Chains A and B, each alone.
Chain A
Amino acid sequence: MPKYKLSSLLIICLLISGISFSQDTTEGKEGGQFSLGVRNTNSFFTDAGSPGVGFGGQFRIRMGKRINTDWFADYITTNIQSLGLRRDGHIGWSVLFYLNKHPLMEKKISPYFVAGHCFDFTKVTSLSSSVVARERWSSAVQMGFGAHYNVTERFDITLLTQYMNHFGTDIHTDIEIDASGKKFLDVQQRRGSVGLEGHLLTTISLNYRIADLW
């Protein structure tokens, strides 16, 4: 084989290897990504009238390039003006739809719409001289808007704001004044009546992609 033909062949092979190395190796492989994370959730505009603070966690399973799912659990406590306290437990799931064509890229922000469903346990306790507590289970739907920032390819910080609407037995609270002029929290549960109660949740979470399931 002539020398210059062999040299040309070697050059072509080197160039091809360079091009193939620069190819996006993750294209088409976004589905199946599994992430684990922790979160802090704040609850606003509840019937209690006071903001709540929560602790929780979530895992994500990515279904496709622009579709992800979030499976979460939160425990939220609320101080009702030092007259009572409220405890909420949420467990649920959401679907995330990314606005970017190429979401979850390193050092990029990936905004998304989110909608989902959860189950909720609520207990409201009045801190009067005789402690009164009411509790209920409810179902809820949530919808909102969030964004990931990928600090690295696998680690992201996420901010999420969503409105959650609960369907369940109505627990109503009012601040009343007793005969001695002292304020107390009146907690009423209207059994048999199904109420609609909504609140705004803002969440900050830290997530790490630990595996590719498929």
Chain B
Amino acid sequence: MVNFKLLFSIILALKLYTVSVNAQQTEGQFIHKGLLRATSTFATGYMPYNKVNNLYLTGIVEYYTDSKISLRGESFYFFNSLNGDKTFKQNHSIFSGACYHLKTNSHFDPFIGLQTGLAYSQIGRNFSGNAGSNKSFNPLLSPLIGFNYYAPKWFHLFINARYVIGNHLSEQGIIPLNEWNFSFGLGFNIL
């Protein structure tokens, strides 16, 4: 004769086990669905084709849709180049895209990402003299890599590195916007 009490107990234990496995988040992993972070810091860039160093003010907003994927928007405000305004008078840009976060069991959050963007650029004195405008909007593409380290509540540290691919096309000249870009700092965990 079947021992129904034993059978019932086994089935109940199995159901509780499967529910607990599905509901469990990887122990110690800080990043989660709904995490919203923001930051503002300085960024430096080096343009290998133009051999010029640039300085920017950058802002980042990032929303984690789950523990693997985040949606990210960034803006770069151009301050100046180290050679004055000989190459660029302006090189502002905005980016949007997504990042893939590698699985960890801690507050350490490494990621890789891809963003597409738009630059508003104006070339400088080295290219002046021709007729027409020297300002234009130009498409950009940028892979990026970096990591965040989250403190328990409000703050996190971050380091970002990216390579920007694009060209400035205007009536006064056509020059590459390709650039290695690096930034680091302290960010806020908003949600």
Contact = CB atoms under 8 A, between A and B. Distances in A.
A127 B117 contact: no
A155 B69 contact: yes
A208 interface: yes
B11 A55 contact: no
B102 interface: no
B12 A14 contact: yes
B143 to A, nearest CB: 11
Contact of A206 (B98, B137, B171): B98
Interface in A41-70: 53-56
A77 B15 contact: no
A42 to B, nearest CB: 9
A40 B137 CA distance: 15
Given A4-B4, A39-B116, A53-B167, A151 B131 contact: no
B141 A152 contact: no
A157 B69 CA distance: 12
B141 A53 contact: yes
Contacts of B71: 208
Contact of A8 (B4, B131, B138): B4
Contact of A11 (B11, B66, B96, B115): B11
A56 B97 CA distance: 11
Contacts of B7: 7, 11
Contacts of B11: 11, 14-15
B8 A7 contact: yes
A75 B139 contact: yes
B139 A208 contact: no
B169 A155 contact: no
B139 A79 contact: no
B4 A38 contact: no
Contact of A85 (B65, B68, B69, B174): B174
Interface string A12-30: 0011011000000000000
B117 A55 contact: yes
Contacts of A8: 4
Given A55-B117, A151-B68, A79 B174 contact: yes
A43 B114 CA distance: 20
B65 A79 contact: no
A152 B69 contact: yes
Most chain B CB within a 10 A radius of its CB, from A4, A39, A54, A127: A127
B69 A131 contact: no
Interface string B128-155: 0011100011111100000000000000
Given A38-B97, A56-B116, 18 more contacts: A14-B11, A39-B116, A40-B139, A53-B141, A55-B116, A55-B118, A75-B139, A76-B139, A77-B136, A127-B173, A127-B174, A130-B131, A131-B130, A151-B69, A152-B66, A152-B68, A155-B69, A206-B114
Interface of B: 4-5, 7-8, 11-12, 15, 65-66, 68-69, 71, 96-98, 100, 114-118, 130-132, 136-141, 165-167, 169-171, 173-174
Q: Which 10 A-B pairs have the closest CB atoms?
A: A55-B139, A7-B4, A85-B169, A131-B132, A40-B116, A155-B69, A206-B98, A40-B141, A77-B169, A38-B116
25 contacts: A7-B7, A10-B8, A11-B4, A14-B11, A15-B11, A17-B15, A18-B15, A38-B97, A40-B116, A40-B141, A53-B141, A55-B117, A55-B139, A55-B140, A75-B118, A77-B139, A77-B169, A79-B169, A85-B170, A87-B169, A125-B132, A127-B132, A151-B68, A152-B65, A208-B71
